[in-house]
Every structure is written in C-alpha cells, then in structure tokens.
Structure 1
Amino acid sequence: MNATVDMTVAGNTVSGTIIYGACISSMACPTLTCEQLTGSGMLAALPGNPQLTECNLNCCQWDLCNGPDTPPPTPEILTCNTVIRVRADADVIMNQVSEQVCSPGSSCLFVTAAISISLQGRPVTPGDVTYGTCVPTSACYALTCDLISAGMLSSIPGSAELASCNVGCCEENLCNDDGSVHANVTGKSNLLLLPPQQKVRNLHTFL
C-alpha cells in the first residue's frame, strides 16, 4: 500500500508518503480498505496527528511482490498433451499424441467421452474418445461437453454421437493425462468416465 498523509511536525503541516506492506490472507486482501488499515493503527506511530489524504492499496501473490520496485514474475510457459484418440469397440481407429507449448495464460484441457460410432460398412458400436489440448484459462473452466462436442466429433471418421462426457482443466506441465495418454492402447478403453459434464480442477481425481 502507498499512502499520502498530512502531519504536523514542529508546528508546521507537511506532507509525506507511507509505504506499508505485510502478509495477509488472500481471501481478506481484496476486500481490505484504506480506512480499515488506518483504523487498525498504521498511523499511530507517526508524530503530529497525521491525517490520510490519499491511499492506493494493492494485493499480489508472488515472492516479495509488495516492494516499491518489484517487477511482476515472468509468466510460466505451460506444456500440455495434445491428443486425439478414438476407439470403436476393441479397435483403435485414431491415435495422435504430441506435446504442445501453450501461450501464456493457458490451461491444459482434458476430455474423455463415451460415444456411439458408425464406420463405413459396420454397425453402430460403442466407443470412446480421449482429447487434450491447450486452451486459454479464462475459457477452459467455462467449457462444457455441449460446447466442444461438435468440434471434437468432427475429427472422427464415420459418424459419432456423444453418450457421456467429462471435461477437466489443469495448470501443470502435461497434467492433462489420467494415465492413459502415453499408455499402450491396443485393447479396449479402461478410462473412468465421471458423470456427464462434471468439471474437475485437479485431473488426478481421475485415478
């Protein structure tokens, strides 16, 4: 917090600047006001009955960030799995897996879905889709199965209908993996599909 105060020193009224910093709960800091701080005794140590004339209060969450000249941290670059895997019954019909360096401010998206799929010359069979990519964090947590199903299913050969779906977002390198992304995929899926459209912030809850 930076504050400008008027105080009386040796009979003269002078202006001064206070720079004040401390640790505070991340839940309480955004609602804190300058009036609450001054009422708690911040000005009591100053001489001459100081009066607050201006105050700027800010909160931050990185090491030593409340110094007067502390620059913000360099954004961390996130790497996510980019995966599109489709299985129809026991057959793997698409399996593309790579790693993608995301733009700053991104999250890793991870989708598992149960589908009904019809390939040329074959009856409708049950299948599953595993899908992952980088997505802007502001958008990732607003995604639902309905919003992403059209684009996800359009990459599948034949025709497919969504039966159930789980969407997850996370912010650690290669976190969009429930253990199946780099596993042997020759057999049927053993993915655990959570209830449709259930959102999870920590993908380890899949395991």
Structure 2
Amino acid sequence: MYRILNKRKLAPEVHEYVIEAPEIARAARPGQFVVLRLHERGERIPLTIADADPETGGVTIVVQEVGKTTREMGDKFGKGDCILDFVGPLGKPSEIENFGTVICIGGGLGIAPVYPITRALKDAGNTVLGIIGARTKDLLFYIDKMEKVCDELIVTTDDGSAGRKGFTSDPLTEILAAGRKVDRVVAIGPAVMMRACADATRPF
C-alpha cells in the first residue's frame, strides 16, 4: 500500500497528490511515469511523474478528473489514505544535457510533466525560456515553480484572463522569427498545441 502524503487542488477537477514511494522517488527521472491502481477492483492508469523527492520519499503526480478512476480518486482519496499499487518509474527518461538555449512549453495539464524536464535542463546549464498556457486563468498552475527554474517565463491564456492573450505557440513563433538562437524546444500539452509548436519550429 502507498500512502498519500498530501493532496491539494490546482484547478477545477485537477489535484496534485504526493505519494509515499521512496524507491520510486530515488530512481525517477524527468519524463518518466507511474502506473497506479486504487484498489483490487480498480483499473490501472498511467500518470506522468511531476516531481520526486528522494529525501522525503514523495512522488508527485497531477491528476485530472476525466474518467471513472480519476473521479473516484478525486472524490474519495485524500491525505492519509492509501492506494493499492504504484508502479514505476516507467518509460524512457527525457534527454537532458547542456544544449544551450532551450524553450520549454506546457499547455493545460502538460504544465505538470514539463516542469521536472525544465528544472533538469536548467540544472544542466541551459538557458531556459518557459512558456505555459491554458484556456483561462483558473486552469493555470505551477507558475511559481516554473518561474524558479526558467530564465524567463511567458504565461498565456486563450481568453486573456492571465498573462498575454493567445496560444503558447504565439510567443514561440515570435522568439524564433526574431532570430534568437534556440537549440531545442520541448512541448507537452494537447495534440493541437504540440502540432502548432512543431509547425512553428519547422522553418528554423
């Protein structure tokens, strides 16, 4: 059994959980994920690791309530409760090295998995420009965390309720068009956002 050390609401129907899993916390690398099962009758669901603390043994995941298991977790599981299975770290870690100048983009729930990658790239010596966005300000989170690991952070919302109005691909396009040397772009978010970011980089 794996105990929930903390739970907090980040946005409507989005919660951050810190799960006590020392072995996973020590082994986890940016870009990896875990698979959890709440109880014996539960389904197994994959969730990207948003943070890991080897000292406390805590592994952070961000969960959006979109299906049966995630809604059950949001409604019935809180600090002090235990989940049955928590397996990981799984998957190939993100490539982390000193590339030079890197732009890290997180859209919507993608802000959570892009955070540890951004931090690791900064720790590796890169100049890091961060761009995070959501449909509206109520859906934004981790602004403070991203500010700490970025040399510059741009916030966007579709409706202009926070930061600049527009999409995350807009400042990316402007930065590239201005001739700034960018060695790598990392983008995590909805498929339409990642497609727009990929299209923005192609001419360069």
TM-score, normalization by structure 1: 0.21
The structure whose Rg is larger is 1
TM-score, normalization by structure 2: 0.22
Q: Which has the higher helix share?
A: 2
